Amino acid sequence: MAEKLGGERLIEELCNGFETLMDPVKCVITFDSLKMNATILGLEEDVTDDDLLLSSMLKEGDLDGDGVLNQMEFCVLMFRLSPDLMKQSWCLLHQAFQLDFKNL
């Protein structure tokens, strides 16, 4: 995915995903905003087993312990949950360094 999109487009897509799932008032992803968007995540809105999954997502990604995901935490979580995405991001980072050093 990262290879097809390129670095800037990948970040843009992650930001779009965050905005889709976030609470529009609080500008963070909350349990309630995840629950409200459960169908986008491929989950059923009223199934309690899925509530456990949503809670786990929040706990896994919540780096500062405030119970919600900010944009950076969401992006880090997406990279951690997608090993291929992580590999591709290293390739993109390497390419960016090569371009920067080439221009020196």
Question: Which tens digits make up the pLDDT trace of 64-73?
Answer: 999 999 999 9
Please tell me the pTM assigned to this model: 0.67
Q: Where are the beta strands (DSSP E) in the chain?
A: none
Q: Is 29 helix (H, G, I), strand (E, B) or coil?
A: strand
Higher pLDDT, 87 or 13: 13
Domains, the chain, in order of start with CATH, read: 2-102 (1.10.238.10)
Q: Where are the beta strands (DSSP E) in 1-61?
A: none
Instruction: Give exposure, 48-71, as e/b (b: 16+ Cβ within 10 Å).
Output: eebeeebeebbeebbeeeeebbbb
Q: How far is residue 53 from each of residues 12, 32, 69, 78, 92, measured CA to CA in Å?
A: 25, 13, 15, 15, 31
pLDDT in tens, 35-49: 887 777 666 655 565
